[in-house]
Structure 1
């Protein structure tokens, strides 16, 4: 592949995979927790929380990126806190790109996991509880395994969304080659450059191939799990 792709293209591909993977892995525990809260919780403000979670889906990505810049920039309250406490900088860094991608993919992850949790027969959890299992054991041994197809779907959706994220990322962390220039940003830069169409097409095809492979892998895993559940 290196014979056909420039070092800059290879860097953009690697950075996209790294950013999307980190964004998905970091979002996963929060996604499971929020999905469980929305699926099973009964508390004031539940509708408001649901709206806030899904807000990135309906807001322009540029608005999301600007809000992230205000909150997580070096002068923002959260950005200053993370830098002073953990030495973690988001603005104009690949970590910020991962944050933006995670925020944009989070609603899709939560929705898939929530629907999976809501479809679980509560009698199975109640049966485990009557046998003496505590809430944590019931969740780990019954709820989580039964929700696994939705969790896998959420992982794939979040990863695919992160892989294609552009608006929030470029607004929050700009388009810095080797640092924040993911495949969508690189494609955008290439189509603005004379004779950049061929490279942009290569990156586009690679992006489509990776996303398609992720979807196929998710489907194969889901089918295998379904067969295992039947047997």
Structure 2
């Protein structure tokens, strides 16, 4: 038995590992879309821009249970989109860890977009214009100028989204339930332990782990955000 298992117990260790796995996938899959959406909101002017901004931030203000319900009626196995994904790609989301990643990614997406958007707003467009006058393509400008200047903000957004995914509860439990070893993440495990008399110490240990991850993520995000805005304090 490892030190981690001795401290958290088998169920707590499984929940922590699943949370990290789900959060990593949620962050990685959300990042390309967040970059694109942030670029649209900062550098493009189009009809529906404000509507897109509202939709991006909607998960922050909606009750998480509502978000989970919307995911269930959209991506459930009997829902049109969910049935299509299962029939064509063999991908099942409802009551699977893949669905937990989708729910966690959706809840952390606004935080990621906001951090990336702030980083992009601090990139001087004149640098990109100068590169364009020298014959650089848009893709090369984005890869060699824009992205490197945005990189601390991108990392800050990814870390925040990861931390949010680790702590996500309402949308996840509504969409994928609380199945030990399959969909039970850290918050779900804490909730389940609190329903069992005598399991409060085990729940408290999971709370400590969750707090440690959250604090580390916030500190890392703050450091990287300051690096992306050298003039700020």
So what's the TM-score if we normalise by structure 1? 0.94
1:161 aligns with 2:164: yes
Return the alpha-carbon distance in structure 2 between the equivalents of residues 147 and 161 of structure 1. Answer: 21
SS in 2 for 1:212: helix
**Counterpart mapping for 1:136-151 below 5 A:** 136-151=139-154
Q: CA deviation at 1:81?
A: 1.6
Instruction: Name the structure 2 match of 1:173.
Output: 176
**Change beyond 3 A, Cα 1:223–1:119:** closer
Q: Give the counterpart of 1:127 among 102, 126, 130.
A: 130
Q: CA deviation at 1:155?
A: 0.4
Return the alpha-carbon distance in structure 2 between the equivalents of residues 194 and 91 of structure 1. Answer: 30
SS in 2 for 1:3: helix
Return the alpha-carbon distance in structure 2 between the equivalents of residues 207 and 172 of structure 1. Answer: 21
2:119 touches 2:229 (CA, 8 Å); kept in 1? no
Instruction: Name the structure 2 match of 1:73.
Output: 76
Q: CA deviation at 1:43?
A: 0.8
Instruction: Name the structure 2 match of 1:95.
Output: 98
Return the alpha-carbon distance in structure 1 between the equivalents of residues 180 and 102 of structure 2. Answer: 18
So what's the TM-score if we normalise by structure 2? 0.93
SS in 1 for 2:107: helix
1:184 aligns with 2:176: no
Instruction: Name the structure 2 match of 1:56.
Output: 59
Q: Which runs of 5+ in 2 are unaligned?
A: none
**Counterpart mapping for 1:13-52 below 5 A:** 13-52=16-55
Return the alpha-carbon distance in structure 2 between the equivalents of residues 223 and 147 of structure 1. Answer: 12
Instruction: Name the structure 1 match of 2:218.
Output: 215
Return the alpha-carbon distance in structure 1 between the equivalents of residues 167 and 55 of structure 2. Answer: 22
Aligned residues: 227
**What CA deviation, in whole Å up to 9, does each residue of 1:69-113 have, x standing for no partner?**
000100112211211111110000000000000000001100110
2:23 touches 2:101 (CA, 8 Å); kept in 1? yes
1:109 aligns with 2:112: yes
**Change beyond 3 A, Cα 1:173–1:197:** same
1:9 aligns with 2:12: yes
RMSD, aligned α-carbons = 1.6
